[in-house]
Structure 1
Amino acid sequence: MAIDEKDVNEVAKELKGAFEDFKKANDKELDAIKAEKQKLEEKTDKMNEKLGEIDNLKAELEKELKAAKRPDAAKGKDVEAHKKAFLQFLRKGSDDGLADLQQKAVQVAVEADGGYAVPEELDRTLLQLLKDESPMRRVCNTITVSTSDYKKLVNLGGAGSGWVGETTARPATNTPTLAQIVATMGEIYANPQATQTSLDDVFFDVEQWLSEEVAREFAEKEGSAFLTGDGTNKPKGILAHTLATKADDARAFGSLQKLVSGSAGVFSGDNLIDLIYSLKRGYRQNASFMMNGLTVAKARKLKDTDGNYLWQPGLQQGQPSLLLGYGIEENEDMPDAAADANAIMFGDFKRGYTIVDRMGTRTLRDPFTNKPYVGFYTTKRVGGMLTDSNAIKVLALSA
C-alpha cells in the first residue's frame, strides 16, 4: 500500500487532536489535584492551629490546678497591718503611719517621696503572676536581691592535673580562672488607671486588680527585654549577646554558639538534632526548645525518614508535648522563621540565664494628672545576666 502525504497529514491531525484531548484531561487532573491539595493544606493548617490551641489549653489547666494547690503564705501581724494600711492608701490616699509600717513589715528603708513599697504578700503574688504570664520567668533562674549592684563569680575552668609515682615530685598545676558577671539592671513601670468611684466600691478588689494589671504590663516589657534587650536602661537579653559558630572550647566566654540551618528561612529535623547534640550532655537533662507559635506549627509538620512525626502530644496530665523528646516553651517574642532569623533556641535556661529582681515593688498614687481617674504609678528594679553561655544554643535560619 502506497503512503502519500495526505495519509501523514491525517495521522498528524489525529495526533494533534489526541494531544489536545490529553492536555485537557491532564490539565483537568492537575487542577483537581491542585484544588484537592489546597483543600488538604487548608484542613491541615486548621487542624495544626486547633492542635496548638488544645496543647496550650492543657498547659493552662495544669497551671491552674497547680496554683489551686499552692498553700497560702503565712501572714504575720506586721505584714497584715502593712497590707491593710497600703490598701487604704490605694482606695483613699491616706498614708497615716504607712511609712513606719512598711519598714517593719518589708524591712527595707525607703525614702518618703510619696511612693510606698507594695506589701510582702502582694509582691509575692505579683511575682507569681509574672511567672505565669512570662515564658522567660518560667524557664529561667530567678533570684531576689536587696541591692541593684548584683555580681557573681563564675569558674571558667583551667585547673591542671597529672599522673605521678609514689615518690615523684608534685609541681604546681594551673589555677582555675574566675570571671565576674554583673546583672544589667533597669527600672520597669506600669501606670494602670481606675476611677475613684470604683475604688470606693466595696465590691471592687483593688488588690487583685492592681496585681493583674501591673503583672500584664510588666510581663510584656520584661519578656522582650530578657530575650532581646540591649542593656540600655533595661536587662541585656539572651539574643543580644554575641553569637559565634565556634564550639564551646573555642568560643569566648559570654558568647553563645550559633548553628546555621543551611537554608534561608527553613529548618529541618536534622537541624534540630544537630542543635540538641551541640549541647553537652550535662545540660541536655533539663533542656527545652524555645520558639514562637508559628515556628512550633512548622516544627509540628516535620517527620523522620520512617514517616514518624518529630512532635508528639502530651496525652497524660503533667506531661508536656515533646519535640524529639524535649519540651517546647512557646515565646511570642522569639523571631519568626524567616531568612537569617535566630528563630529557635535550645538549652538549659535555668543554668544559662538569671533574672534578678530588686526587692520591693513601689506604687505612687496619682489622683491629679488624669482626672477623674486615679493613676497607680508602679515601679520595680529588674535585671538579667547570662550566667552560662554554654548552656544555650541558637539556630539561625541562614543559607
Structure 2
Amino acid sequence: MVDVVERPALDGARVERSGAFSGFVRTGAALEMKAFTGVTGGEGGFAIPREIDATLKGVSPIRSIANVVQVGSAGYRKLVTTGGAPSGWASEVAARPVTASPNFVEIAPPSGELYANPSASQAMLDDAAFDVEEWLAGEIANEFAKAEGAAFVSGNGVNRPRGFLANPVAADGDATRTFGALQYLASGAAGDFAANGQERLIDLVQALRSPYRQGASFVMNASVLARIRKFKTSDGAFLWQPSLAAGMPATLLGYPVVEAEDMPDLAAGSLSVAFGNFKAGYLIAERRETAILRDPYSNKPFVSFYATKRIGGCVSNSEAIKLMRFSAT
C-alpha cells in the first residue's frame, strides 16, 4: 500500500518566501514551478512574486496616483474624445436633428524596457539567516522607482515613458487650448512666488475643473514644498497641514501633497508645481510582471539578478493636470 501525501496549497507569498523562490535566488534551483507567477523555460528566468511588484508600487510616487493598466503587448492604444459627445435639446414632440459626431484621438503611451541588475555574493546568499527575498525586492524597487520617477515626470518618450512635463504647455483655458497641451498658471515672479503666493496656489486649484478636483493631488519636490510650507493665511494659519494619522498624506489647501524628487527646483520659467487628478490625467501601461534572470557566471564571486519590466506612460487627459510656471506672466 502506497501512502498518499497531500501537497499544501500554493497560496502566494508564504510559499514563495519560504520555498521555491528563495531556493531559486540562493542556488538557481527551481523545485516547485507553481510557486512562480510565470516561467521563461530553459533560460532560467522567472517572473518574481507579486509582493516585489507591490513594493515597487509603494515607493514610486507618480505610480501611486496615476492610472496603471496591465497590457498583454507593447502596442497599447486608447481612444479618447476631444470634446465629448455633442448633444441638443428638443421638446417632447419636436424632431431630433442629427448632432455632430465626436472627435476621437488615439493615445499610444511610449514605452521601453526598464531593467536593474543588483548583485550579491554567493556567501551572502548561502546564509540562511539572510532574508534574500526582502533584499531583492528592495534593490529592484529602489532602482525601478528612481528610473520611473524621472521618466513619468520628464521622460522624452524615446525608449521610455513620456513624462507629463514633456507635453507642450499653454496659458489658454480648457475650452481653447490645443488638445494635449497642459495649462499653466504663472507664479507672478521669475523663479519664485509673488507676494501673494498663497493666492496663486488657490488659482491653480480652481483652474482644475470640479469633476477632476475630486481625487486631485499636488506634486512637487522637497525644496519647493519647504518654500510653500511657510505660507500663512491672513490670520496666521499655515496653508500646509501635517498628516493627522499614520498612512494619511499631508495636505495643502485640503489636497494631498506627493513629493516627487524629479520635479524641478524653483528657477526662472520652471514648471515646479503640478496639481491634478493623475488617475484621470496620466496613464501607465505595463506589460507583464517583473521578470528576473539569475547570473552566477559573469561577475564571480557575485551572483547578479537581471530584472526587467516593460513600462509605458503618457498624459491621457490634458484637462486633468495643471502646472504652475515660475514666471511673471
> Please, what TM-score do these two structures have when normalized by structure 2?
0.88
Q: State the distance in 1 between where 2:17 and 2:59 align.
A: 27
Q: C-alpha distance in 2, partners of 1:281/1:320?
A: 21
Residue identity in the other structure for 1:237: G
Map of 1:122-201 to 2, 5 A cutoff? 122=49, 124-201=50-127
- Using the TM superposition, give the Cα deviation of residue 274 of structure 1 relative to its aligned residue in structure 2, in angstroms: 0.9
**Structure 1 CA distance, aligned partners of 2:41 and 2:104?**
37
Task: Give the length in aligned residue pairs.
Answer: 316
Q: 2:282 aligns with which of 341, 353, 363?
A: 353
Paired residues for 1:287-326 under 5 Å: 287-317=216-246, 319-326=248-255
Give yes or no for contact 1:86–1:118 (8 Å, CA) kept in 2: no
Percent sequence identity over aligned pairs: 46
Pair 1:320–1:218, CA change in 2 (3 A): closer
The alpha-carbon deviation at position 81 of structure 1 amounts to: 8.2
CA distance in 2, matches of 1:257, 1:281: 15
Out of 145, 152, 159, the residue aligned to residue 219 of structure 1 is 145
Q: CA deviation at 1:350?
A: 1.0
Cα offset, 1:339, TM superposition:
1.5
Match of 2:24 in 1: 89
Alignment partner, residue 163 of structure 2: 237
Distance 1:207 1:271, change over 3 A: same
The residue aligned with 2:190 is 264
Shift of 1:80: 4.9
Report the counterpart of residue 339 of structure 1 in structure 2. Answer: 268
Q: Quick one: which amino acid aligns to residue 23 of structure 2?
A: Q
Separation (CA, whole Å) in 1 of partners of 2:290 and 2:243: 37
Cα displacement (A) at 1:333:
1.0
CA 372–171 in structure 1, closer or farther in 2 if over 3 Å, else same: same
Q: 1:152 to 1:255 in 2, by over 3 A?
A: same
Cross-structure match for 1:43: none
Moved more, 314-323 or 386-395: 314-323
Question: Which structure has the larger Rg over C-alpha atoms?
Answer: 1
Q: Does the aligned pair in 2 maintain the 1:189–1:378 contact within 8 Å?
A: yes
- Kept in 2: contact 1:158–1:174 (CA 8 A): no
Structure-2 separation of matches of 1:109 and 1:151 = 27
Partner residue, 1:284: 213
CA distance in 2, matches of 1:396, 1:91: 50
**Which residue of structure 2 lines up, in the alignment, with residue 395 of structure 1?**
324
Question: Would you say 1:246 and 2:181 are equivalent positions?
Answer: no
Equivalent residues of 2:155, 2:163 under 8 A apart:
yes
More strand by share: 2
Unaligned runs of 5+ in 1: 1-73
Which of the pair has the greater relative contact order for Cα pairs under 8 Å at 6+ separation?
2
CA 1:252–1:109 in structure 2 vs 1: closer, same or farther (change >3 Å)?
A: farther
What is the CA distance between 1:89 and its match in structure 2?
2.9
Q: Offset of 1:146 from its aligned partner?
A: 2.1
Match of 2:133 among 196, 207, 223: 207
- The letter of the residue matching 1:141 is N
Letter in 2 for 1:91: R
Report matched runs for 1:73-88 at 5 Å. Answer: 75-76=10-11, 80=15, 84-88=19-23
- Quick one: structure 1 residues 205 and 166, their matched pair in 2 at CA, closer, same or farther if it must change by over 3 Å? closer
Distance 1:178 1:75 in 2: 46
More helix by share: 1
Q: In the alignment, is the contact (CA less than 8 A) between 1:140 and 1:353 conserved in 2? A: yes
Post-superposition offset of 1:250: 0.9
Q: Which amino acid aligns with 1:92?
A: T
- Looking at structure 2, the residues matched to 378 and 316 of structure 1 have their Cα atoms a distance apart, in angstroms, of 35
Q: Contact conserved, 2:36 with 2:47, CA < 8 A, in 1?
A: no
- Show CA shifts across 1:224-243 (max 9, x none): 11111101111111111111
Q: Is the 8 A contact 1:82 1:105 kept in 2?
A: no
- State the match for 1:375 in structure 2: 304
